[in-house]
Amino acid sequence: MSMRDVIEDLESGCVRGRYREEVLGHAEDVEDYFDSFEDAAEFVKAYEREYDMRNPNFDPEEYAESWYDSFGDMSGIVESLDM
């Protein structure tokens, strides 16, 4: 295992330690739209603040997909939820 792999494992563990399991689960669903898993987790956290996770219509994946289809990247998605 290279030093880079060790560092990446440590960073991944730190990111996973900052978020609840529910957020991490949804972040895994939207990770492909974002540059990093941490960016995906930040989006899900912001989405959760805006929308109730207990609501059956809670669907950050649909929101992320729609955003990506509309704008071609994820720039500004977290800020749009924090307004």
Task: Report whether 5 contacts 39 (CB < 8 A).
Answer: no
| Entry pTM | 0.81
> Per-residue pLDDT for the chain (83 aa), expressed as one digit of tens each?
788 877 777 676 667 778 888 999 999 999 999 999 999 999 999 999 999 878 888 999 999 999 999 999 999 999 999 76
Task: Report whether 23 contacts 48 (CB < 8 A).
Answer: yes
Identify each DSSP E strand in 1-83 by its residue range: none
